[in-house]
Amino acid sequence: MRNIIYILFFMVALVNAQTKMSNAESAVLKTKVKAHATTINTLLSDFTQYKHLDFLSNDIISSGKLAFKSPDMVKWEYLKPFKYSVLFKNDKLFINDEGNKSDVDLSSNKMFKQLNSLIINSVKGDMFDDNEFDIAYYKKEANSEVHFSPKDKEFSKYIKAFHITFNDEGHVVELKMLEPSEDYTKIVFNNRSVNTPLSDAIFAQ
Amino acid sequence: MRYLLSSFCLLFIACGSYPKKHDFQIEKVATNNVQNFYFSNENEDYVYKANIDVYDNNFSGIFIVKKIEESNHRIVFTTEMGNKIFDFSFVNNTFRVNFILEDMNKAILINILKKDFRALIQEKLPIIKSYSTQKDTLVYETTLDNKTYFYFKTQQLDKIIRVGNGKEKVAFLFSEINDTIANRIQILHSNIKLNINLKLFK
C-alpha cells in the first residue's frame, strides 16, 4: 500500500513538474523580461531547430546563428545542414538560399510585417500583449514557461501557441511554435550575447 | 484537301509513339513489375532541401516523405523555419489534403502535385512493354491513373517519364544514388513552368 502511495505521489510530482504561477510570480517575471528586453540593442545567439512531425521517427534538426540589431534588423541564418538566411531590414525580406539571392518588399504585406515584429518580440521575449494573446504562466524547474495563444482566428489556423522558456534572468532560452495539429518547431538558443557591437556587415545582403 | 492530308500526316508524325521516336528496341524481360525503392523504407525519414520554381517564383523549403505503412505515404513541405506549406496523405488510392496554405489552395495546383507525388512514391507497377536503348538502358512502359509512364533503368532507376500524346510531359530524375536513397531528385515539367529540385538533408 505504501508503495502505491509513493508511486501515486511520484506521478503527481511528475505531472506538476510544470506548475502554474501565481499572479504575483507572473507579474515579477513579466517585469523582469520587459526590463531586460528594453535594454537589448544587439543580440547574437546560436540556435538549434527541431522540427517535430508526429509521423517521423526523428525530429529534423538544423542549426545556425541569429543576429538582431535594434530597432528592427533581424538575420536568421541556417548553417547546417544547408546554408540559408533570411534578413528583415528596411521593410524588406532578403533571402539568400545557398548563394541565390532574392528579396520581398514587405511594406505592403501586413502578414510579413506582423511576422517580423513577432520574430523580434519572441527573440526578446516580450510578447506580453493581452490584446493579441491569451497568456498562461508556468514554472518549469528553475525556468519559467509562458504560453502565448493567438486570439486572432486567422492566425491561430497556423500557430496554435508560442511557448517561450525563460531562464531565471528573464532571457529566452527556448521558443516553441505549436501548430493546431500538435506538430511543432522548437528552437533552442545558446551562446547568447547581448549588446556586443555588431558590424553592419552582418546585416548586409 | 492537300492541306488536310498534310495536316493528317503531321498529326500522325506528332502522335508517333514515344518509344518509336526515341528508337527503343523491344526487349523481353523476365520481371512483371517495375519497382521504385526510393521511398519504400518505413524506418527511413526522407528529408530533402527543396527548391520549387513556379513560373517566375521560387520557393524553397524542406520536403519530407514518410512511408507510414504499406501503401500509405505522407508528404509534407515546410519553410526552412518549419511552417507547413502543404501536407498530403496518399493512402491506397485515396489522396487527402491535411493542410495547405490558403494562397496555394488551388485545385489545379493540388492536382498537378498529386499526380507528380503519386508517381514519385509509387513502389510497384506492372510492366506493359519493355525496351532497350542504345545506351544500355532498359525502359519499362507502364500506366498509373490512366497515364503512360516510362521507367529508365541502368544500374538502378535513373529516370521516370510521364508521356502524353507521344510527348514527354514530366521527367523525374534520380541521381547520386546510394543503395536505395536518391541524394538528388528533380521533377521537371515540359508543358508548364514548374520544376522541383530536391537535395537530401545530411
Are A37 and A126 within 8 A, CB to CB?
Answer: yes
Q: What are phi and psi for residue A53, nearest 5 degrees?
A: -120, 125
Q: Report residue A16 CA to chain centroid gap.
A: 23
**Position A66, amino acid:** L
Most confident stretch, A190-194, B20-24, B28-32, B102-106 = A190-194
Peptide bond into A81 cis (omega under 30): yes
Listed by number, the residues of chain B in 44-63 with a beta carbon closer than 8 Å to a beta carbon of chain A are 44-45, 47, 49, 51, 58, 60, 62
Report the alpha-carbon distance of residue B76 to residue A199 in Å, rounded.
38
Are B74 and B66 within 8 A, CB to CB?
Answer: yes
In this predicted structure, what is the pLDDT of residue B10? Answer: 46
Inter-chain CB pairs, A–B, below 8 Å? 55
Cell, residue B69: 505503412
Q: Across the strands, what pairs with A186?
A: A50, A176
Which residues of chain A have a CB within 8 Å of the CB of B84?
A: 158, 179, 183
Partner-chain contact A185 B83, CB within 8 Å: yes
Report the alpha-carbon distance of residue A194 to residue A196 in Å, rounded.
6
Model confidence pLDDT, tens digit, residues B162-181: 999 999 999 999 999 998 99
Model confidence pLDDT, tens digit, residues B4-63: 555 544 444 445 789 988 888 888 888 899 999 999 999 999 999 999 988 877 889 999
Partner-chain contact B68 A76, CB within 8 Å: no
**Region of residue A16 (left: phi > 0; alpha: psi -120 to 50; beta: else):** alpha
Q: Max alpha carbon distance in chain B (Å)?
A: 64
Cell, residue A45: 545567439
**Total-model pTM:** 0.87
